[in-house]
Amino acid sequence: MIKAYEPLHHKYRPSRFDELVGQDPITSTLKQALTSNRIAPAYIFSGPRGTGKTSSARIFAKSLNCLKSVKATTVPCGECELCQGINSGNALDIIEIDAASNTGVENIRELIERARFAPVKARWKVYVIDECHMLSTAAFNALLKTLEEPPPQVVFILATTDPQRVLPTILSRCMRFDFRRISLNDLKNHLSKIATKEGILINEEAILLIAKHSQGGLRDAESLLDQVSLFPPPITQANIINLIGAVPEEELIQLAKSLINKDPNSILETCNSLINKGKEPNAILQGIASILRDLVIKKVANNNNELCNISQENSEGLKALANSTDLNQILNLQAKLKGSENFIRSSNQPKLWLEIQLLGMMSYETSKEKNTIKQSFLEQKKSKDSEVVNSNKISEEINSNRNQQMTQEIFTKKESQLNDEKNNLDDIWEKVIAMLELPSTKMLLSQQAKLINLNSESAEIAISGKWINMIQSRKNLIEDAFFKARGSSTKIILIQQKDKSSTTKVDKDISKKIEKKDSLTTNAESKKIDLDKKRSIQEKDTLDQDSIDKKAKQFAEFFNGEIVNLE
């Protein structure tokens, strides 16, 4: 009978806590729980793929039920009937469920009904629910009460790669363990041990590349090692690069050198060569980003090769390239790569946009060049000033007149340039607003924001004070709009303007007080005038009355009569 081939990630699956790679805090905690017999009713193991979640659940189940131990143990034998049944997945009391294919509430209700029965052979009945985030909301809700108050001698272990999709009510009822990505050194040592045991002739550079490519996942690393073991020995780094589709380091260094030297012909030739060899544009971009990172490390770290991703054989070439350039130029090239990967991934012509992106990275004037130009300008100005001082009075007058004319022309040119820049800023701001998708954001920026300064790296935007928080939350959208409008990444700087509402309010209050005071003064004067008029009228009335009384008395005396008051 032909024996089936057992893959390396199955053959070297850990069977004890001591064999787990790179998860020491979790293994020590679970061991202490087993030793002190403090078994929680529910656990949740979360973390990236291939970090040991399901293996830890199986080891924990074996530790609880190993028949060679009277109680829970930290070192299961792996030889008894239950341990072998758990390894093969045939144990009656250890139930593994794939939540991706059992997502419904009926599956969970059936599981809850079975959990009520006592274990058949084992001391504990263990339910392992793998990829539990795939369960429906109704299934999670059906599981809530059982997780909080499970039947005796029942343990639930939930494993997931996406804990954000698990209900918070489920997470609060479970003891949570977060499995981290396995470190590079742990992966490298583990793969070296497997290669030695299996007799695989592979050099250290190739093993290190496998460990880097797996990104902290042990299962991925073991699977890739299993795959490259089919190559004829000895297995080198070039075999791994061809297998995984990575870009050779020599060509990446050449491409970085062309970017630093601003050589468009070399850039296009290298890109075409890599694309013709079947390399993906995103892989080329990732390789360039890695090389630029290593260049920065070579500039700032003294002979610290452990931080670099590049191999030892190409380390000297990278160091020579780092010595031929300055740090500001490397950092600027890194900044130009920001957001380009997603843009190329979503494009229908990734090769074209890769070339455009790389060619656009050359348009950069370093600060060193700017300082050189400025220094030469100052030296020329000093020399001209010294010539003017040494000349005679007539030439001084002529030169002064010329200087006045020149300065007048410079001022007029500057004024025209400022007007042009202002118009250009307004045009660019309109283009940026047009690139926004949300109408509300367009209206907000057009009314409450204004572009006041712009250079190759950043843009300053003046914001009305009470709208600063709302526009700050949409900063990423504005940066994307600048990228679409200008074709390069731009850092947004928001400047808050002082609101004039407070000053206008004070002015209004002062004006109101003045008006009030004026009105009071006017009223007082008018009242005074009215009193004077009333007094004059009363005096006149009294005079008229007196004159009338005298005439009436004379008239009465003439007829020998008298005056009678009828009132």
What's the count of helices (H) and strands (E) in the chain, helices before strands?
Answer: 24, 8
156 DSSP 8-state letter:
E
Q: Please choose, from the candidates 166, 137, 154, 126, the residue with its C-alpha nearest in 3D space to the C-alpha of residue 46.
A: 166
Compute the residue count for the chain: 567
Q: Are 314 and 254 in contact, with CB atoms under 8 Å apart?
A: no
The one-letter amino acid code at 275 reads I
User: Any idea which of 257-266, 422-431, 441-450 has the lowest mean pLDDT?
Assistant: 422-431
Give the residue-averaged pLDDT of 170-193: 92
**Nearest CA-CA partner of 283 in 313, 333, 318, 245:** 245
What does the pLDDT read at residue 32?
93
CATH number attached to the domain at 184-244: 1.10.8
The yes/no answer on whether domain 8-178 falls in CATH 3.40.109.10 is no
Integer Rg of the chain from CA: 44
CB atoms within 10 A of CB 142: 19
Long-range CB contacts for residues 204-209, cutoff 8 Å, separation at least 24 = 205/236, 205/237, 205/311, 205/312, 205/313, 206/235, 206/236, 206/237, 206/239, 206/240, 208/184, 208/311, 209/237, 209/240, 209/241, 209/246, 209/311
Is 70 exceeded by the pLDDT of residue 288? yes
Residue 180 has pLDDT above 70, yes or no: yes
Give the residue with greater pLDDT, 312 vs 504: 312
- Confirm if 416 and 469 have CB atoms less than 8 A apart: no
Note whether 138 and 165 are within 8 A (CB). no
Average pLDDT in the 317-326 region?
84
126 in helix, strand or coil?
A: strand
Q: Write down the pLDDT at residue 26.
A: 93
DSSP code string of 400-440: HHHHHHHHHHHHHHHHHHHHHHHHHHHHHHHHHHHH---HH
Q: Which residues contact 448 (CB under 8 A, 6 or more apart)?
A: 463, 464, 467, 471
Contact at 8 Å (CB) between 192 and 224? no
Confidence of residue 506 (pLDDT cuts 50, 70, 90): very low
Residue 250 burial (CB count, 10 A): 11
pLDDT score of 418 more than 50? no
- 486 touches 429 (CB < 8 A): no
Question: Rounded to the nearest 5°, which phi and psi values hold at 151?
Answer: -65, 160
Query: Residue 462 phi/psi, 5° resolution?
Result: -85, 130
CATH of 376-497, one of 1.10.1040.10, 3.30.365.10, 3.40.50.10490, 3.30.300.180: 3.30.300.180
Long-range contacts of 141-150 (CB under 8 A, 24+ apart): 141/105, 141/167, 142/105, 142/108, 142/109, 142/112, 143/108, 143/112, 143/170, 144/169, 144/170, 144/173, 146/112, 146/115, 147/41, 147/42, 147/173, 147/174, 148/41, 148/173, 149/41, 150/41, 150/42, 150/115
Residue 384 in this model has a pLDDT that exceeds 60: no
Higher pLDDT, 310 or 92: 92
Question: Reduced to 3 states, what is the DSSP secondary structure of residue 93?
Answer: coil
Question: How much of the chain, in percent, has pLDDT values that exceed 70?
Answer: 76
- Please write down the HEC assignment for all residues of 358-375: HHHCCCCCCHHHHHHHHH
159 — pLDDT class (breaks 50, 70, 90) = very high
The string of pLDDT tens digits covering residues 62-85 is 999 998 888 889 999 888 888 989
Distances (CA, A) of 515 to 105, 188, 502, 523, 529: 76, 85, 20, 12, 21
DSSP label at 350? H
Helix (H) or strand (E) holding 216: none
Secondary-structure class of domain 249-360 per CATH = mainly alpha
Please, what is the average pLDDT of the chain? 79
Residue type, 331: L
What residues does each domain of the chain span?
8-178, 184-244, 249-360, 376-497
Is the pLDDT reported for residue 501 higher than 60? no
Contact 42/173 with Cβ under 8 angstroms? yes
Average pLDDT (3-29) is 89
pTM: 0.60
- Single-letter residue type at 530: D
Run of H or E residues at 459: strand 458-464
User: Is the pLDDT at 197 greater than 60, yes or no?
Assistant: yes
Phi, psi of 162 (to 5 degrees): -140, 80
Omega before 234 within 30 of 0, i.e. cis: yes
Structure token digits, residue 168: 């918070």
What tokens were used for 406? 């020149």
Report residue 552's pLDDT band, with 50, 70 and 90 as the boundaries: low
Residue 499 phi, psi (nearest 5): -75, 140
d(CA 225, CA 343): 33
Secondary structure of 243-268 in the HEC alphabet?
HHCCCCHHHHHHHHHHHHHCCHHHHH
